[in-house]
Each structure stands twice: as C-alpha cells, then as structure tokens.
Amino acid sequence: MPEPRYRVAIVGAGPSGLFAAQFLTARNDIDVDIFDRLPTPYGLLRYGVAPDHTSIKAVAHALARVFDSPAVRFLGLVAVGRDVTREELLAGYDAVIYALGASEDLRMGVPGEDAVGSRSAREFVAWYSGHPDAEPQSLTGVTQVAAIGVGNVAVDVARILIKEPLALDVTDMPADVLGELRRARVSDVWVIGRRGPQHASFTTTELRELCRTPGVAVSVSPDAFDGIDESLLDRRTRANVAVLREASAAETPWPRVRLHFLFWRRPVEVRGDPVRGLVVERTALDASGRLAGTGEIETLDVQLVLRAIGYRAVRLPGVPFDELLGVIPSEHGRVLDGDRPAPREYVVGWIKRGPIGVIGTNKSDARETVEQLLADLAVMGPRSDRIDLLDTLAARGFVPSSYADWQRIEAAEANRGASHARERMKIELWHELLDLVQSERPGGPIPPN
Ligand code: NAP
C-alpha cells in the first residue's frame, strides 16, 4: 500500500510561514497550501523590512525556492476568518499552521494620540513599503518629528526620514513615496525612550547605521548615561551605549539633519490637531525599580509623532487567543485550547511568541513547530474525511490568486523599475495588483477586499 499523503495549510505567507513550509517540504509526503489575504507572498519581508535593507530583503530570494516544489501552492486573496472559517480549514487539511504575524500596533494611551500627524510607525512603514492598504502620508509642513520607542522600528523610521533621499533611489519604494521623501524638509528627529540607553531594545548594527547616516548630527540627552555601570551590561547593550557615546561626541559640521536621542522621557500628551507639539515627562525608576514620572515636563515642537512602541496580533475568529499577551496560546508550537492541545492546530512566528526577534528567529521557531506537527501526524495519520477546500470556494464563485499571478506582479514591478533604472518598483495600488491578477484568469471573480 502507498504511504499516505498529508495536506497541511499555512495561514500567512510571511517569513515564519515560509520557513515552516520549507521544513514540511523536506519530506516528500506532504502537500502544503499557503494562504494569504494579499496576492503577494513574503509578509514583513516585503512590507516591513526597510526598503534600504536590501541584504535582509534578499532572504526572500532564498524563501522563494519553497514555491519551486510542486507540493506547494500559494493561495492569495484569501482572508482566513473572512473568506474561509477555521472549521472549513480544519476539515480540508490534516494540520493547520497559523503564521499571521502581528498586524496591529500598541497605543500610548495619551491625550491627542489620534490627532492628524500622530500615527503608528506601522502605518508609516506600510506607506514607504508600498503596502496596498497603506494611507498616503504627507510630509508637507513637517520639519520636526518624534519617534516614540527605542527599538528597531523607531530606528527604521528615523533612518528613512533622515537619509539623503538620493540614497533611497536604489530601493523598491513606489515613485510617489520617493517623491514625498524628496520634497520633505525634515530638520530634526527625536527618538524617545522612556528608560535609559542600557534598556533600549535596538540592535547595535541598526543603531550604528542610524548614527552614521551621512550629514546627520547626533545628540544624546546629557543625563542619559548617568548611573550606568557598564561592567554589568551584556555585550549588545554595552556596544549600544558605546555607539551612542561616540556619536554624540562626533563633530558634524553643517549638518543636513539633527538626530536627538532623548532618554528617560515618556510621552504624556500630543498637542494640537494637526499635531504641533509633544509633551514629555521626565522619568526615573522608583525605589522598587518601577518606572515613574517625576512631574518634570517639556514640550517638543514637532509636527509628526510616530509611535514605535510595539505590535500586536489580532484574534482570528474561533481560534484561541490570549488577549493579555496578544498571541495564540501554544506549547512548543501546538495551539492550546485552555490547557489542552487543540488537535491539528499549530502556530509559528509573532502570533506564537509575540512581536520580537528578527527574520532569522523565525527559522528555529518554525523548526520547533514542524517537529511537533510531524510527531502528531505520525500518531494521528491523515484525516479520512478530508474535503477539498478549493472546491468549496469554487462553489461560492471564489478563486484564490496563484503563484503565477504573483510572478506577473513581480514582472510588472521589475518593468516599472527598469524604466527608472532600478531593479524593481513596488506596485502599491489595489486596483493595479488586481488587474494583474485578473489579466490571465479564466473569468474567476476576485473576492472583495
Ligand atoms: P521593541 O523592540 O519591543 O521596542 C519597543 C519600544 O517601545 C521599547 O523601547 C519600549 O520601551 C517602548 N515602549 C513600549 N511601550 C511604550 C510606551 N507606552 N511609551 C513609550 N515607550 C514605550 O519593538 P519594535 O521596535 O516594534 O520591534 C519589534 C521587533 O522587530 C523587534 O524584535 C525588532 O528587533 C524587530 N525588528 C528588527 C529590525 C531589523 O533587524 N532591522 C527592524 C525592525 C524591527 P520599554 O523597553 O521600556 O518597554
């Protein structure tokens, strides 16, 4: 008798989902369907990793190899929870892996946060990355900007704002975004940490790159280094502190832009609508080591506030969710329903471990999950009553987009890039993406977005 073939669904075509697919296809008895709500794979590699970080983006080339396998299908324009239910997925597959990432962001919870000109770094990143859902961003009248948070996302948005726009010409940013950045007249960017440099979560390579941006004068709030015992710091943190000390001591004659690191300050109010100021309060650790306000207030004259204080995953209807941690609860990758494993359901990436770690972190994370999944399949075997989910969708007149559709989008982006002497230029408009998907389809309707 032939060995049974298994069928696994992965929900989300970002790095964590694709690493999982890589591990699954190392076996030759598993078919993998990778669902995404967009017609484009790669998730945060395409829409989160900064466009000027081309070497990290190159990971996409390696991950793309997974689609060479005849056992793998890309099923785009399918939003699980909207177009397909959890129950339908479970009926169609021997196992389901949720790889949805974290699509919302945390809020500061301060007055004025919703004013025009106060927004999440996620929205700003989505805009310059050419995400089809992104709102166009205007930098007209913006000379001073505050980025809240001292993690790598704050570093990314600060760098894009202070970089000489000509240096961004090599990226795949959409033409309108590059145009807006070229017209911008940003003179000062504040990066604001509610604790000290020794607590900042940015990685040293990213921090050094930001501080060494040509034409930028760096200052660090004078009290930032007070009380730091460097002998107690780990390697990364010690290196971060050294980079900040060195950058603030460096002379930059005739700077194009000033970059200010302001530590031990927390935002307490966004002033004006549209924004015309950010009120920050000086902070300190109290006797029990908790962060507390000192009551000492200052106002920064900024016209744009970007909060980069962390992402948050969104609940998928019917799937267990830990509201406090913003993750699908799991144990070694097996989804937990209460304290029991939910059969045939698994999780990888940020929706498993929270929004932490770099792209490569997802590899070991996916390996752990796939090992559990394979161990479980070996015990459970394939479903005897599996339905064909694509038939169910077709009966509703619903045709997912395919990997061939994505390749057509890619070719159109390469063409657009070639006419601007660039390798690629993103297509950022939904209707243009959908036109490219539809152009070769046998009349299958496109689902609404
Ligand atoms: P993050 O590293 O967790 O940084 C969030 C920052 O926001 C922290 O400094 C945090 O301070 C601060 N914060 C949180 N709540 C706040 C509040 N209410 N008010 C003021 N500050 C607040 O998160 P991230 O920057 O979003 O990055 C997410 C993950 O993606 C990280 O693992 C990051 O390394 C990764 N990433 C990597 C790259 C890269 O490799 N180039 C680029 C982008 C992102 P506390 O520490 O005091 O909480």
Cα of 57 vs its chain's centroid, Å = 13
Q: Residue 139: what pLDDT?
A: 97
Q: What is the pLDDT of residue 58?
A: 80
The CATH number of domain 107-309, selected from 2.60.40.720, 3.50.50.60, 3.40.630.30, 3.40.50.300: 3.50.50.60
Mutate to test the pocket of ligand 1, among 59, 107, 155, 194 (most ligand atoms within 8 A of CB): 194
- Annotated domain spans of the chain: 6-103+312-438, 107-309
In 3D space, the residue among 271, 337, 266, 330 whose CA is nearest the CA of residue 301 turns out to be 271
Determine if ligand 1 sits within 6 Å of the CB of residue 206.
yes
Q: How far apart are CA 145 and CA 190, in angstroms?
A: 6
Cβ neighbours of residue 240 closer than 8 Å, sequence gap 6 or more:
197, 198, 200, 202, 204, 207
Coil, strand or helix at 83: coil
Element (H, E) at 148: strand 144-148
Q: Is 308 in the pocket of ligand 1 (CB under 6 A)?
A: yes
Nearest CA to ligand 1 atom 1: 151
Residue 208 in contact with ligand 1 by CB distance below 6 A: no
Secondary structure (DSSP) of 216-278 = EEEEE-GGGGTT--GGGS-HHHHHHHHHHHHHHHS--SS-SEEEEEE-SEEEEEEETTTT-EE
Residue 311 beta carbon below 6 angstroms from any ligand 1 atom: yes
Strand partners, 266: 281
Q: How far is the CA of 240 from the centre of ligand 1 (A)?
A: 15
Name which of 286, 369, 310, 305 is nearest 98 in CA terms: 369
For ligand 1, what atom is nearest to the CA of residue 154? 25
Q: Is residue 125 in contact with ligand 1, taking CB distance under 6 Å?
A: no
Distance 276 CA to ligand 1 centre (A): 25
pLDDT per residue over 380-439, tens digit each?
A: 999 999 999 999 999 988 899 999 999 999 999 999 999 988 999 999 999 999 999 987
Lookup result for tokens 């080339």: 61
- Ligand 1, atom 11: closest residue by C-alpha: 149
365 in contact with ligand 1, CB cutoff 6 A? no
Tokens coding 243:
């980079």
Helices (H), 250-356: 350-353
Q: What is the pTM of this model?
A: 0.95
Predicted pLDDT of residue 368: 98
Q: Are 310 and 150 in contact (CB under 8 A)?
A: no
Atom 2 (ligand 1) nearest CA: 151
Question: Using N-to-C axis directions, what is the helix angle for 15-25 and 361-380, rounded to 10°?
Answer: 50
Per the CB < 8 A criterion, the answer to whether 182 and 160 are in contact is: no
CA 231 to ligand 1 centroid distance, Å: 24
Q: Which two tokens stand for residue 311?
A: 């992402």
What's the pLDDT at 449?
46
For 3, the token pair is: 């060995």
Whose tokens are 């394979």? That residue is: 374
Give residue 60's pLDDT. 82
Residue identified by tokens 């005739």 is 254
CATH number of this structure's domain 6-103+312-438, picked from the four choices 3.40.50.720, 3.40.50.2000, 3.40.1350.10, 3.40.50.450: 3.40.50.720
Per-residue pLDDT, 440: 66
Ligand 1 mutation target, pool 309, 311, 351, most atoms within 8 A of CB: 309
Q: Is the CB of 261 under 6 A from ligand 1?
A: no
Instruction: Give per-residue pLDDT as tens, 58-87.
Output: 888 889 999 999 999 999 999 999 999 999
Which of ligand 1's atoms lies nearest the C-alpha of 291? 47
CB 175 within 8 A of CB 216: no
- What string of pLDDT tens digits covers the 449 residues of the chain? 566 699 999 999 999 999 999 999 999 999 999 999 999 999 999 999 999 998 888 888 889 999 999 999 999 999 999 999 999 999 999 999 999 999 999 999 999 999 999 999 999 999 999 999 999 999 999 999 999 999 999 999 999 999 999 999 889 999 999 999 999 999 999 999 999 999 999 999 999 999 999 999 999 998 999 989 989 999 999 999 999 999 999 999 999 999 999 999 999 999 999 999 999 999 999 999 899 999 999 999 999 999 999 999 999 999 999 999 999 999 999 999 999 999 999 999 999 999 998 888 999 999 999 999 999 999 999 999 999 999 999 998 889 999 999 999 999 999 999 998 899 999 999 999 999 998 766 655 455 44
Contacts 24+ apart (CB under 8 A), 160-165: 160/50, 160/51, 160/52, 160/128, 161/186, 161/189, 161/257, 162/186, 162/189, 162/210, 162/213, 162/216, 162/256, 162/257, 162/259, 163/52, 163/213, 164/214, 164/215, 164/256
Which pLDDT value is given to residue 288? 92
To test ligand 1's pocket by mutation, which of 49, 108, 153, 190 has the most ligand atoms within 8 angstroms of CB? Answer: 153
Overall residue count recorded for the chain in this entry: 449
